[in-house]
Chain A
Amino acid sequence: MIANAWARRMRRLASLPCGLAILLLTSGCWSSTEISDLAIITMIGIDAAENGNFRLSALIIRPLGGNQQAVSAQQSSTTVVAEAEGANLFDAMRKLSFMMSKRLYWSHLDIIVMSESIARSKLAPSLDFFNRQHQFRKNIVMLVTRSSAADILKTSSQLEGSLGAEIHGQIRNSRLAANTMITDLNDFNRSLLQATTDHITGEISVTKGQKLALTVNQKRASMVYIRGAAVFRENQLVGWLDREQTRGVLWLRGKVHGGIAYTPCPSGSGEGKISYEYTRETASVRPIFQDSGDVRIEAKVHVEGGIGEVTCPGIDLSSDGIRRLNDQLKQDVTEEIESALRLAKDELQADVFGFGQAIYRANPKLWAKLAPSWHSGGLRELVVELSVDADIRRSGLMHEPVYERGAPS
């Protein structure tokens, strides 16, 4: 009896490792992939090819082995740009993988560069692919280039280990300088669901041929940089904003956390320029509903800044003078905003300022009435009452200009 019970117990005990072995060994590691078998893609470019095809280029990181004594972060990897054409993005991606000895790995993709023609006509259908495939993140940055997207990818990075890191660094800096505004996949997705806002996103280009120059090891080199913005209306590229107009949009969105501007010296203070440095901004965009059923927008912008550089010999920086400078600054900001309004609101009819969003939030029923004609006249007819308020608070480490006393004015 005892022996029997013992045997039964042992059998039960033995069944545990057996079961575990079967469970573990037969199932295998189905979703596991060795990290060295991955072709890590950090950027892709989408260009238009003939016959309405897509040309997909992917920036693949080829890491240098750890044993090869990578000297610094800049040399920890080299990049490969692979290009393939397909009838749609999925097809192009499949063809891309034919070339690869490793599995294409999309989870670390964080920048998509579109050429102008793709952005004009094919962004909306492309969004389907990026949302359907589970490997894509939702915070992929979308950028537009006027040249070819593949060329952007082929530009080598100069200060960072990878081009992706370099672009991200520029995006981070652009937030501080209020140069541009970057929109990600998620934002574009949101406007698929609810067309209350249109987007702008950064325009990326190569420094070659611009007034910027870069020399690496005594050789002329080029670099990518982001400036201005591309304007989208209902996920279609409709136009471009230059840097000042972009800032005009950012003023109304309350996104200016830095940046500089200059104006000529106030009258009577000689030749030269005075530069401002923006430090803080608050903006409010409020819809005012009138009894007649009309709606207008009341936009208030409050700008704080400091003096960055003064080259006006006879400038008056007393409180009265500062007050005059405030008026000047206010006028400049107003001009920037109005220029952006003229282009985006009146000409392109793209609601990049978030007016529709403001109306929708305050009065969804009214918005439902306005929405159908919003992009065909509704936005253009909208009255925007702009009031800007500027306040120069600091003058840097010194007050009066250095050469005021000895100036031959």
Chain B
Amino acid sequence: MATWTKRKSALPSQEHDRNNKERVPLFDRIEETLDYVKETFSDCDDLTIRPVTIGKAPGYLLYMNVIVNDSLLNGIEERLSELRHSPDPERTDESATAQPFDRLQAAFPLSQATEEDDLNQVIDAILYGMTVLLLDGAPHALRFQTVSSDGRGVDEPVTEQVVRGPREGFVEQLNTNVMLIRRRIRSPDLKARFQVLGSMTRTGVAVLYVQGIADDAIVHEIHDRLRKIELESVLESNYIEQCLQDAKWSPFPQLYTSERPDRICAGLLEGKVAIVTEGTPFVLLAPALFVEFLHSNEDYYDGSLPSTFIRWVRTLGLLISCFLPAFYVAITTIHQDLLQTPLLIRISGFREDLPYPILIEALFMQLIFELVREAGLRMPKAIGNAVTIVGTLVIGQAAVQAGLVGALMVIVVAVTALTTFVLPNYAFMQVVRIISFPMLLLGGMFGFMGIIVGLMFVLAHLCSLRSVGVPYLTPLSPARRTGWADVFWQSPWWAKQTSKLKSDSEQPASAGPSDTRQPQPGGGGSS
């Protein structure tokens, strides 16, 4: 696993069409070209073909009417009609066919029109929302930039709310998202490499990193892995995330996901690599560390003392949500001698005449909670509240009064449910909830010993995990003191020492030169 990072391959170039068929040149006769395009787009009613004449030469304007920007298209058509009606000396010689194309090129600024002579690229261009002009006798097709950038406006993200901090969130457009990052890091060292993933969806993906801060091995590794991805479709960043994971079957999220540009920028400045995927506001950040899933972005905007406190509270929440049900079941079925006598009597009173064993009760309640949560999540907001109320009533009151479930169990499940919401990262929260189930079984069957064994399995797994070659538990294990200022306490900004992430295949000795923040010639392959 560690050998990948040793391979220093050049960064992949902007391969726009690595999934594509071979190059198809334009046909000599425009009808043939048109037929080819028509055949490719057969049954695509949204393909518009409009005949135009430039000078005397017949031509066709091709575009997908649903994805082009109407005003841009209108502008181009206006210019074309101006061109057609402008006085043009009647010429019948051979050069007449070439001349209109020259005039065309002269009429449009370079940013609007580009030449293309590969037919497959022409088809791609149409699919991206460009308008293509085919002109009889012209050596190239002309692509006009009419890509519609309509979409949701930049809005406050729903998943990561902050009290203090920027309110901008990523949107579905790739360019907007990269823009949001660029606006925060105004440096040429911020590199952005675009590529296309998914043979069917042709999703644009941008890989961003700050050269000089990011470890070259990590950047290489990510490019390497992205290149190897063979997917038909990429509809969300999770498609990529799953392909980039080191341990394919691990439930733990090995890449950080965020909707917030400030969070992603913070990651970039710590030397991480961001992967922006078109069509989703969730941007990936690699490598991800275990401790980061307990951090909220707001920690860095609050004072050092409150955010340190909140982090410890979150850690407590993590422990509670993993272990509280298991602990409760274990202590009441196996280790009753550890309870205080008055508490034992209390619990015993609550449990008098209850029909089911406490383990079954716990599983039942946890399942009910999952049902209520899931029901509330998928419902429209207004109904969601109602579901929550019904769920609360069913669990809290009816079950206890009917004598099905002990009152203490309701408290335990409620506290557990509450603490899972303390965890700031949704993917991580899901894993924690799932882990609490095997823990519950182990605790109910083997008591504390079972819980400890389960915990050891989880810890061993966490220790073995790597996120893009970086140990998942950094800076706890391997212990890196410089990173502790961001884990056990939150140092104020003026006292912060930056600790750089290293792929663990990197030898400490060879880490020397890349420690400097100077851009290295040829180091990152930035051409």
Q: Which positions in A face B, CB cutoff 8 Å?
A: 24, 27-29, 31-36, 38, 40, 42, 61, 63-67, 70, 73, 76-77, 105, 107-108, 110, 135, 137, 161-162, 164-165
Q: Taking the nearest CB of chain A, how far is it from the CB of B140, in angstroms?
A: 46
**What is the interface of chain B mostly: helix, strand, loop, or mixed?**
helix
* A66 with B345: CB separation less than 8 A: no
B445 within 8 A of A: yes
Q: Which of A35, A70, A164 has the most CB of B within 10 A?
A: A35
Q: List 30 A-B contacts (CB under 8 A).
A: A27-B445, A28-B445, A29-B334, A29-B445, A31-B447, A32-B333, A32-B444, A32-B445, A32-B447, A33-B336, A34-B333, A35-B333, A35-B347, A35-B358, A36-B354, A38-B336, A40-B348, A42-B341, A61-B348, A63-B345, A63-B346, A64-B352, A65-B349, A65-B350, A66-B407, A76-B349, A108-B337, A135-B337, A161-B342, A165-B342
* A33 with B333: CB separation less than 8 A: yes
Q: Taking the nearest CB of chain B, how far is it from the CB of A163, in angstroms?
A: 12
Interface residues on B, range: 20 to 34
Chain B residue at minimum C-beta to C-beta distance from A160: B342
* A29 with B353: CB separation less than 8 A: no
Per a CB cutoff under 8 Å, which of A31, A32, A64 touches B349? A64
Give bound CA distance, A27 to B447, whole Å: 13
Chain B residue at minimum C-beta to C-beta distance from A165: B342
Residues of B close to A108: CB separation below 8 A: 336-337, 341, 344
B311 within 8 A of A: no
* B352 with A65: CB separation less than 8 A: yes
Per a CB cutoff under 8 Å, which of B332, B345, B447 touches A162? B345
Residues of B close to A105: CB separation below 8 A: 336
Per a CB cutoff under 8 Å, which of B344, B358, B403, B445 touches A40? B344
Q: Which of B337, B348, B359 has the most CB of A within 10 A?
A: B348
B441 within 8 A of A: yes
* B401 with A67: CB separation less than 8 A: yes
Residues of A close to B345: CB separation below 8 A: 40, 61, 63, 76-77, 161-162
Chain A residue at minimum C-beta to C-beta distance from B408: A66
| Cβ contacts B326-339/A at 8 Å (1 or 0 each) | 00000011101100
Residues of B close to A35: CB separation below 8 A: 332-333, 336, 344, 347-348, 351, 358
Give bound CA distance, A137 to B336, whole Å: 13
Sample of 10 further A-B pairs with CB below 8 A, known A29-B359, A40-B348, A66-B346: A32-B333, A34-B333, A34-B351, A34-B357, A35-B336, A35-B347, A36-B354, A42-B341, A70-B349, A77-B345
Chain B residue at minimum C-beta to C-beta distance from A25: B445
Give bound CA distance, A108 to B334, whole Å: 14
Q: Taking the nearest CB of chain B, how far is it from the CB of A103, in angstroms?
A: 11
Residues of A close to B349: CB separation below 8 A: 63-66, 70, 76-77
Give bound CA distance, A108 to B340, whole Å: 8
Per a CB cutoff under 8 Å, which of A63, A67, A73, A107 touches B348? A63
What 5 pairs across the A-B complex have the smallest Cβ distances? A63-B349, A107-B337, A66-B350, A32-B333, A65-B352
B376 within 8 A of A: no
* B341 with A110: CB separation less than 8 A: yes
Give bound CA distance, A65 to B352, whole Å: 5
Chain A residue at minimum C-beta to C-beta distance from B332: A35
B406 within 8 A of A: yes
* A29 with B354: CB separation less than 8 A: no
Give bound CA distance, A24 to B336, whole Å: 22
| Cβ contacts B447-459/A at 8 Å (1 or 0 each) | 1000000000000
Chain A residue at minimum C-beta to C-beta distance from B353: A65
Residues of B close to A42: CB separation below 8 A: 341
Give bound CA distance, A308 to B357, whole Å: 58
Per a CB cutoff under 8 Å, which of A29, A33, A65, A76 touches B444? A29
* A164 with B336: CB separation less than 8 A: no
Chain B residue at minimum C-beta to C-beta distance from A135: B337
Residues of B close to A28: CB separation below 8 A: 445
Q: Taking the nearest CB of chain B, how far is it from the CB of A115, in angstroms?
A: 24
Residues of B close to A32: CB separation below 8 A: 333-334, 444-445, 447
Residues of A close to B441: CB separation below 8 A: 24
* B341 with A38: CB separation less than 8 A: no
Chain B residue at minimum C-beta to C-beta distance from A77: B345
Q: Taking the nearest CB of chain B, how far is it from the CB of A41, in angstroms?
A: 10
Residues of B close to A162: CB separation below 8 A: 341-342, 345
Q: Taking the nearest CB of chain B, how far is it from the CB of A398, in angstroms?
A: 42
* A63 with B352: CB separation less than 8 A: yes
Give bound CA distance, A165 to B346, whole Å: 14
Interface set, chain B 396-446, CB cutoff 8 A to A: 400-401, 403, 406-407, 441, 444-445
Residues of B close to A165: CB separation below 8 A: 341-342
Q: Taking the nearest CB of chain B, how far is it from the CB of A161, in angstroms?
A: 7
* A107 with B336: CB separation less than 8 A: yes
* A36 with B334: CB separation less than 8 A: no
Chain A residue at minimum C-beta to C-beta distance from B438: A20
* A76 with B358: CB separation less than 8 A: no
Residues of B close to A137: CB separation below 8 A: 337
